[in-house]
Structure 1
């Protein structure tokens, strides 16, 4: 077989082999988005709760949207038990956090890229207070500063 035939055979079989990579090229940009990483982090917390929390003592409620004075707030996980009501905010991020605890927005830095996101402790405090008010629960949910 000469080089020309080999080259033609290779070119003719290439389209069949390239189709295997098309889903990968479509999926890779989606897998790298903050949205997907957030969903993956929430799925890991859900799995850990199902595996490690006693199903008789703890009940997991996922992805709850509640009304607030200024719109709505979305809670990733609520764990209800006889020991209390636990509100869990999930963040699945890497890089450096260049912010202070009191700032409303935090900044994630990875090399030269920056992305702003809500301050998780403040976000979770709002979630817990909203749930506390809607359920008419008294103080003592472990909310800092009370």
Structure 2
């Protein structure tokens, strides 16, 4: 497995990873967008505003992290690859480039919360979800580079 910066023409593959991961690990979330809307979002917004890194297996991308100044916007792996330190390798790409990062995580997503806390993120606040698209309670986490 290697990590590398994603090419713009991989936006559709990255969107598919996000969709598959959300369906598997976050079944309590409402499905708000079609696969085509997901692909358009990743092509038009995520890839234009974020640095996107993929973890690549033998058959192609198996996970990705999309980040920008101060934020992790997305970190998803295909379900069979979770628990193999791939997420940590992707997260470290963002940490190598930024001294401060924030991210939102759904409060029900205990596996992701444990992952982020193991990787130095600390909860800043919780919300009732009224401000997110899914209307599901979430939490803001942050990480600071240690001096």
Please report the TM-score for the alignment, with normalisation by the length of structure 1: 0.29
Which structure would you say has the larger RCO, counting Cα contacts within 8 Å and 6 or more residues apart? 2
- Larger Rg over CA atoms: 1
